[in-house]
């Protein structure tokens, strides 16, 4: 009985309540939506002299004829720009861009994963260059939305890096310097390859993460480097770029050489049943040289080849 | 009305009146607007409060604002859409949480705990990996994932009478664990070069594109509206489904409508921002603690408080280590977990 009375009273106040809330809700939100819609519509960005280029993902990008305020969103790209002698045209870099030392003087725009889009805008960037090796899609779509040209590089191999340098040279109007640089890099790569061509190819385990043990698969950059330096990776057949391996899988494959980043001594202790550990052929690698697809990758290649085939490179060291 | 009367109206857990509801929502709306202006004014680049007001005024009236082009872009094209997205996502998650809590008569229910966020995330991640070129595939797949997950959780949780609610939560926990494993499998073995995108998005991210703002806002409004019109029925069902039935509530229809609406809200939120935890759990709790548990208040107030909370959390994420950014999911968990423990202890 009581419940029924309550119910009726409730229903009455409920209609009133509903009306008021609907009013508040529906007046508040559409207002904010109009703002957002209008904010997306107006755009004013037409560089005086511009041209269209195709980037390494096949995207068509409209860029200034000679970009003056370039933002680099990868350490490798910063290295390329400085190697091309256009460091003075670099307006912003990531917090990881530490080479060459002059790069540290540039304005940081955040890390490679989540750069600050508003800082890039504040820097009046006229070109943003990113690398698929280290970039998140979301931020680059946002830049496109704002009308800032975004050029994407996609080097998958050491040859790809050299090509990338040529293309960036063209992009930023530094073609001659780029050709000079890439000729030199190609000459050094060929030099390494001719030296190791006839040598036997030792098996290599590259350790990119120790807990769990992460190594490199067929599509990875370092796999190509190991090949070109005259060795073969024990995980060269893996489909995933960075597969996880068990200790026993490694021991079963009996690598003759182990490459690892700083630390990892405990892991090596557990891998003592491998030819690499027994013959003391465990080498620490310099990530900056081997994992950054920039010009110093050839330094990395030469260092690797010297470690794989010390007998062939004795004269140099 | 004096400040004392005003606070008395808001901080009351007595019977809800139209006046109390209107005052509470009006105050929350004002806080939301003030917090929005504050959030837009701070960031890695300096823009003054006056410029924020000028640019927003110009956006509304259509006149040109007297500020530099860069400032205008930063305020109107970067921060404003992001703040609005945070409001929409926060409102969606908080209302979804309040809906599940009322439906299941369990204060622990939340899109995250029931596995619905994971379902939506799995849908969206699959779309990212397998159908990247279709731009609309992600929100659709997220909604699909949410709906399928709630159906499975519901089927698992279907039990004899009162045990049903507990079983539902347990079902959610188990489905959640299963879906998380599938997500980890996809991320570690299939995603390849897209791995980082997916991971960043798994812990939540609001920095994405603003073109999704409008459609998502429409979905979220529909979802909130659908939960709100059922608020009185939810009140009665909280007493018990059997009792609600005698009071003329079509429990089955209400349940299905609210489940679908809450899944829509979860799917929409997860599709644009990834899985952001704790909003759906703590916001309705906090609202009930202050204003009582009448869903006609809890639902709209949660929407506003959820929006305020997520916007401020995102502001911390944007500014704490500027110009770098933190993941917003990390911020909501760092704030949400201790607040939740506090709320739990208080209610005990």
Read off the pLDDT of each residue in B188-213 and give the average, rounded to a whole number: 66
CB A295 within 8 A of CB A83: yes
Give how far A33 is from chain B: nearest CA, Å. Answer: 7
* pLDDT per position as a tens digit, A35-69: 444 444 434 444 458 889 999 888 899 999 999 99
Cα radius of gyration rounded to whole Å, chain A: 27
Residue A64, strand partner residues:
A50
Quick one: pLDDT at residue A137?
65
Token pair belonging to A24 = 């508040």
Closest CA to A242 of A140, A162, A133: A133
Q: Which residue has the higher pLDDT, B163 or A102?
A: A102
Read off the pLDDT of each residue in B297-323 and give the average, rounded to a whole number: 93
Q: Which fold has domain B3-347?
A: ABC transporter involved in vitamin B12 uptake, BtuC (1.10.3470)
How large a percentage of chain A has pLDDT more than 90?
Answer: 50
Lowest mean pLDDT, pick from A60-69, A225-234, B295-304, B323-332:
B323-332
CB neighbours of residue B318 within 10 Å: 29
* pLDDT per position as a tens digit, B86-103: 999 999 999 999 998 888
Q: What's the CA dihedral at A208, A213, A218, A220 to 10 degrees?
A: -20
How does residue B25 score in pLDDT terms, banded at 50, 70 and 90?
very high
Question: Do A179 and A54 share a domain, yes or no?
Answer: yes
Q: What is the CATH number of the domain that holds A124?
A: 3.40.50.1980
Quick one: pLDDT at residue B133?
65
Quick one: pLDDT at residue A4?
46
Mutation for testing the B interface, residue in A29, A111, A131 having most B CBs under 10 Å: A29
CB neighbours of residue B69 within 10 Å: 11
Question: Do A54 and A177 share a domain, yes or no?
Answer: yes
pLDDT at B205 over 80: no
The answer to whether residue A302 is domain-embedded is no
The answer to whether residue A153 is domain-embedded is yes
pLDDT at A262 over 50: yes
pLDDT at B207 over 80: no
Residues composing chain B = 348
The domain boundary, picked from A127, A154, A183, lies at: A183
The answer to whether residue A138 is domain-embedded is yes
Lowest mean pLDDT, pick from A67-81, A276-290, B295-309:
A276-290
CB B214 within 8 A of CB A36: yes
Token pair belonging to A269 = 């202790």
Mutation for testing the A interface, residue in B30, B73, B296 having most A CBs under 10 Å: B73
The answer to whether residue A265 is domain-embedded is yes
Of the candidates B32, B59, B69, which has its C-beta nearest A35's C-beta? B59
The answer to whether residue A230 is domain-embedded is yes
The pTM (predicted TM-score) of the whole model is 0.79
Quick one: pLDDT at residue A134?
62
The answer to whether residue A295 is domain-embedded is no
The answer to whether residue A244 is domain-embedded is yes
Residue A207 — φ and ψ, nearest 5°? -110, 115
Rounded CA-CA distance B5/A25 in Å is: 24
Closest CA to A133 of A304, A297, A305: A297
3-state secondary structure chain B: CCHHHHHHHHCCCCCCCHHHHHHHHHHHHHHHHHHHHHHHHCCCCCCCHHHHHHHHHHHHHCCCCCCCHHHHHHHHHHHHHHHHHHHHHHHHHHHHHHHHHHHHCCCCCCCCCCCHHHHHHHHHHHHHHHCCCCCCHHHHHHHHHHHHHHHHHHHHHCCCCCHHHHHHHHHHHHHHHHHHHHHHHHHHHHCHHHHHHHHHHHCCCCCCCCCCHHHHHHHHHHHHHHHHHCHHHHHHHHHCHHHHHHCCCCHHHHHHHHHHHHHHHHHHHHHHHCCCCCHHHHHHHHHHHHHCCCHHHHHHHHHHHHHHHHHHHHHHHHHCCCCCCCCHHHHHHHHHHHHHHHHHHHHC
pLDDT at B77 over 70: yes
Quick one: pLDDT at residue B110?
84
Read off the pLDDT of each residue in B185-207 and give the average, rounded to a whole number: 66
How does residue B330 score in pLDDT terms, banded at 50, 70 and 90?
confident
Pairing of the two strands A203-207 and A257-260: parallel
Q: For the range A272-279, what are the long-range contacts, defined as Cβ-Cβ under 8 Å and sequence gap of 24 or more?
A: A274/A205, A274/A250, A276/A205
pLDDT at A3 over 60: no
Question: Do A211 and A108 share a domain, yes or no?
Answer: no
Instruction: Reduce the DSSP state of residue A157 to 3 states and report it.
Output: coil
Closest CA to A128 of A145, B85, B9, A246: A145
* pLDDT per position as a tens digit, A67-117: 999 999 999 999 999 999 999 999 999 989 998 999 999 999 988 777 888
Determine, for residues A35 and B45 on separate chains, whether the beta-carbon distance falls below 8 Å.
no
Mean pLDDT of chain B: 84
Task: Find tokens 């989540």 and name the residue.
Answer: A114
Question: Do A117 and A87 share a domain, yes or no?
Answer: yes
Q: Which residue of B has its CA nearest to A238?
A: B189
Rounded CA-CA distance B84/A29 in Å is: 10
pLDDT at A31 over 60: no
* pLDDT per position as a tens digit, B116-147: 888 998 988 888 777 766 666 777 888 889 88
- Domain hosting A228: range is 199-285
Q: Which residue of A has its CA nearest to B128?
A: A137
* pLDDT per position as a tens digit, A161-188: 999 999 999 999 999 999 999 999 999 9
Quick one: pLDDT at residue A133?
64
> If you average pLDDT over each of A104-118, A142-156, B292-306, which comes out highest?
B292-306
Residue A89 DSSP one-character state: G
How does residue A6 score in pLDDT terms, banded at 50, 70 and 90?
very low
The answer to whether residue A298 is domain-embedded is no
Determine, for residues A137 and B224 on separate chains, whether the beta-carbon distance falls below 8 Å.
no
Give how far B60 is from chain A: nearest CA, Å. Answer: 6
A12–B contact, CB cutoff 8 A? no
Q: How many domains does chain A have?
A: 2
Lowest mean pLDDT, pick from A48-57, A271-280, B38-47, B203-212:
B203-212
Question: Do A228 and A125 share a domain, yes or no?
Answer: no
If residue A150 lies in a helix (H) or strand (E), which one and from where to where? strand A150-153
Question: Do A124 and A163 share a domain, yes or no?
Answer: yes
Q: Which residue has the higher pLDDT, A48 or B240?
A: B240
Question: Do A161 and A212 share a domain, yes or no?
Answer: no
Quick one: pLDDT at residue B206?
74
CB neighbours of residue A147 within 10 Å: 14
């Amino acid at each position: 009985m009581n419940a029924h009375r309550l119910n009726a009273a409730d229903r009455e106040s409920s209609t009133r309540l509903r009306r008021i809330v609907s009013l508040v809700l529906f007046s508040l939100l559409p207002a904010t939506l109009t703002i957002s819609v209008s904010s997306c519509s107006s755009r004013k960005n037409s560089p005086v002299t511009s041209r269209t280029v195709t980037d390494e993902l096949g995207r068509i990008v409209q860029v200034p004829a000679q970009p003056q305020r370039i933002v680099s969103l990868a350490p490798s790209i910063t290295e390329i720009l400085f190697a091309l002698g256009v460091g003075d045209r670099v307006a912003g870099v990531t917090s990881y861009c530490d080479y060459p030392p002059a790069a540290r003087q540039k304005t940081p725009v955040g890390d490679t994963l989540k750069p600050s889009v508003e800082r890039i805008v504040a820097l009046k960037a006229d070109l943003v260059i990113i690398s698929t090796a280290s970039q998140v899609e979301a931020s680059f779509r946002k830049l496109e939305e704002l009308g800032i040209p975004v050029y994407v590089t996609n080097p998958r191999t050491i040859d790809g890096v050299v090509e990338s340098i040529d293309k960036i040279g063209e992009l930023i109007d530094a073609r001659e310097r780029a050709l000079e640089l890439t000729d030199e890099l190609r000459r050094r790569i060929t030099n390494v390859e001719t030296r190791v061509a006839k040598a036997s190819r030792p098996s290599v385990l590259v350790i990119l993460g120790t807990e769990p043990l992460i190594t490199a698969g067929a599509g990875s950059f370092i796999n190509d480097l190991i090949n070109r330096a005259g060795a073969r990776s024990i995980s060269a057949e893996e489909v995933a770029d960075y597969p996880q391996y068990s200790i026993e899988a490694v021991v079963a494959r009996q690598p003759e050489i182990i490459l690892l980043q700083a630390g990892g001594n405990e892991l090596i202790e557990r891998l003592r049943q491998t030819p690499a550990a027994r013959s003391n052929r465990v080498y620490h690698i310099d990530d900056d040289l081997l994992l950054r697809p920039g010009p110093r990758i050839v330094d990395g290649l030469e260092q690797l080849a010297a470690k794989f085939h010390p007998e062939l490179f004795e004269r140099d060291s | 009305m004096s400040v004392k009367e005003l606070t008395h109206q808001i901080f009351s857990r007595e019977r809800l009146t139209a006046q109390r509801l209107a005052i509470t929502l009006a105050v929350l709306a004002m806080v939301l607007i003030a917090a929005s202006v504050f959030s837009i004014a701070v960031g890695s680049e300096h823009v003054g409060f006056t410029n924020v007001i000028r640019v927003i005024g110009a956006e509304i009236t259509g006149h040109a604002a007297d500020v530099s082009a860069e400032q205008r872009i930063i305020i109107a094209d970067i921060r404003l859409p992001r703040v609005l997205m945070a409001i929409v996502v926060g409102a969606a998650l908080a209302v979804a949480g309040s809906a599940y809590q009322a439906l299941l008569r369990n204060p622990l229910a939340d899109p995250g705990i029931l596995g619905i966020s994971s379902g939506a995330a799995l849908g969206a991640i699959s779309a990212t990996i397998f159908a990247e070129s279709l731009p609309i595939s992600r929100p659709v797949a997220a909604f699909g994932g949410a709906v399928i997950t709630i159906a499975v959780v519901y089927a698992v949780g279907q039990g004899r009478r009162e045990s049903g609610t507990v079983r539902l939560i347990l079902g959610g926990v188990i489905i959640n664990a299963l879906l998380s494993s599938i997500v980890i499998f996809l991320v570690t073995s299939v995603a390849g070069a897209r791995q980082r995108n997916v991971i960043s998005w798994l812990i939540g991210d609001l920095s994405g594109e603003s073109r999704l703002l409008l459609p998502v806002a429409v979905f979220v409004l529909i979802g909130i509206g659908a939960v709100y019109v059922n608020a009185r029925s939810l009140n009665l069902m909280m007493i018990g489904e059997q009792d609600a039935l005698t009071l003329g509530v079509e429990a089955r229809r209400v349940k299905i409508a609210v489940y679908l609406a809450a899944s829509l809200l979860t799917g929409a939120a997860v599709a644009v921002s990834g899985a952001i935890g704790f909003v759906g759990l703590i916001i309705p709790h906090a609202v009930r603690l202050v204003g009582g548990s009448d869903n006609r208040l809890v639902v709209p107030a949660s929407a506003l408080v959820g929006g305020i909370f997520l916007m401020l959390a995102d502001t911390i994420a944007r500014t704490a280590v500027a110009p770098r950014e933190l993941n917003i999911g990390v911020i909501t968990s760092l704030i949400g977990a201790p607040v939740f423990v506090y709320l739990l202890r208080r209610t005990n």
